[in-house]
A = this chain, B = another copy of it.
Amino acid sequence: MAEALKGALVVGQSGGPSIVINASALGVIRTAFASEHITKVYGAYHGIDGVLDDKLMDMDEAGLIELDKFMYSPASALGSCRTKMPDPKDDDTKYRQVLEVFKKHNVRYFCYIGGNDSMDTCNKISKYMKSVGYDCRIMGVPKTIDNDLFGTDHCPGYGSSAKYIATSIMEVARDAAVYEKGAVTVFECMGRHAGWLTAAAALANVNGHCLDFIYLPERDFDMDKFISDVKSCYEKNGNCNIAVSEGVHYADGSFITEVAASATDGFGHVQLGGLAAYLAAEIKNRLGLKTRGIEFSLLQRCAAHCSSGRDVEEAYMSGRAAVESMLEGTTDKMVGLECVRYPHGGFDSHTVLFDLDKVANFEKKVPLEWINEEGNNVTDAFIEYALPLIQGDSPVRMRNGLPDYTDYNKVFAD
């Protein structure tokens, strides 16, 4: 056990929000509150930008009732940013700023909740602090609906978005099938390079078939094959439901909507609709079927009313583990999850640590062996992987028939 380091802790949130990013922050904050070594808990306003600008929120002032709501409130309650830190060898200005603020508030613990880029920020700050001999412990807490982080079995945030996507597809597919004459519905999920969220659409079939095809960016997209898939499915069933990843691309790497934008009229009108709308129009034009494109857009990363109870718990657990590890002397790591999947749905997860070096800037994709040969669906291996992650109800609390989300009153430190 390393010598106890006495000082303040800063927790920050970075990158696109997730449904459970505040549960992770709460895990950090509550564990820090409980430690005799941590003298003060600050929230960084808009991630690393808040550190750079010395805009630190005093988390004592948030109040316990408001903090309780972090457990189930979507979006980044502390504020987020997309700031990338430069290589300190090229320019160490920002690192010196961080050091100055850390010194000013005697910050000895820093937790950053985010995805690949945020882990890169963590890693760089950690290395810099070591290089200048400033004693502090730095830990990354994983967060990304994209589920693309190295090492960890899955990322907090993914299970809840997966649950929302599967639930919504189950509902819409049933709605779209009520008339005698069927329809083709295209669902667009987030995921530029990794198809995890789109693959989650397969979970919509667990309680009865309703989704027919899934196209991921891990495989090249072939428009003719796609149209022929839809045609034969519709001819057979009188309906067709399809999930596509925003990042699907042709064999030459160009994104579908990019090609569509330049091919149609060059005025950029295609930006009006996304991929789902474009593919729906393509199907309508080529096959003359009734179609509809549905883009889950931001809904899929903030639908906390439909979160996975397990995901929320794991997010909290990850935040807690980060602080506990730092108190034990660990630094320069990311918390990850290691899981055991027992037969008949049994599942266990616990936290493990990964080197930030390895996590930073790596994107984990859906294994190709989990995609079927035709490239238009996922295999049962994916279902076995993902189904445990969406279990358990959302812990959301209601007031006036609506979620009682936090809008806490930010009080800044001097």
Q: Which of B76, B207, B299, B399 contacts A403 (CB 8 A)?
A: B207
**A184 close to chain B: CB less than 8 A:** no
**A349 close to chain B: CB less than 8 A:** no
Is the beta-carbon distance between A171 and B207 smaller than 8 angstroms?
A: no
Is the beta-carbon distance between A167 and B270 smaller than 8 angstroms?
A: no
**A400 close to chain B: CB less than 8 A:** yes
- In the complex, which residues 166-209 of chain A have their Cβ closer than 8 Å to any Cβ of chain B? 166-168, 170-172, 174-180, 185, 203-204, 206-208
**A303 close to chain B: CB less than 8 A:** yes
Binary contact readout A227-269 vs B (1 if CB under 8 angstroms, 0 otherwise): 0000000000000000000000000000000000000110101
**A211 close to chain B: CB less than 8 A:** no
Oligomeric state, in number of copies?
2
Interface hit among A95-103, A304-312, A324-332, A363-371: A304-312
- Which chain B residues border A75 with CB–CB below 8 Å? 171, 174-175, 177-178
Is the beta-carbon distance between A393 and B402 smaller than 8 angstroms?
A: no
Is the beta-carbon distance between A281 and B271 smaller than 8 angstroms?
A: yes
- Which chain B residues border A333 with CB–CB below 8 Å? none
Q: Closest Cβ of chain B: how far from A87's Cβ, in Å?
A: 24
Is the beta-carbon distance between A302 and B171 smaller than 8 angstroms?
A: yes
- Which chain B residues border A207 with CB–CB below 8 Å? 399-400, 402-405
Q: Closest Cβ of chain B: how far from A412's Cβ, in Å?
A: 15
Is the beta-carbon distance between A303 and B264 smaller than 8 angstroms?
A: no
**A298 close to chain B: CB less than 8 A:** yes
Is the beta-carbon distance between B297 and A292 smaller than 8 angstroms?
A: yes
Q: How many residues of A contact B (CB 8 A)?
A: 71
Q: Which of B46, B73, B308 contacts A174 (CB 8 A)?
A: B73
Is the beta-carbon distance between A392 and B402 smaller than 8 angstroms?
A: no
Q: Which of B206, B264, B265, B298 contacts A294 (CB 8 A)?
A: B298
- Which chain B residues border A400 with CB–CB below 8 Å? 206-207, 387, 391
Binary contact readout A50-94 vs B (1 if CB under 8 angstroms, 0 otherwise): 000000000000000000000001111001111000000000000
Nearest-neighbor residue (CB-CB) of A304 within chain B: B171
Given A264-B269, A265-B269, A270-B269; A172-B405 close (CB under 8 Å):
no
Q: In this complex, which of A82, A387, A391, A407 has the most chain B Cβ atoms within 10 angstroms of its Cβ?
A: A407
Give the CA-CA distance A277 to B185 in the complex, in Å: 19
**A17 close to chain B: CB less than 8 A:** yes
**A110 close to chain B: CB less than 8 A:** no
Give the CA-CA distance A287 to B108 in the complex, in Å: 44
Known: A79-B180, A387-B401. 5 other contacts (CB 8 A): A17-B178, A46-B179, A49-B180, A272-B281, A391-B400
The 22 sampled A-B contact pairs (Cβ below 8 Å) are A13-B178, A17-B175, A75-B178, A81-B179, A81-B180, A168-B299, A171-B303, A172-B299, A172-B302, A174-B405, A203-B402, A204-B402, A206-B402, A207-B404, A208-B405, A265-B269, A270-B272, A271-B281, A272-B273, A272-B277, A273-B277, A295-B295
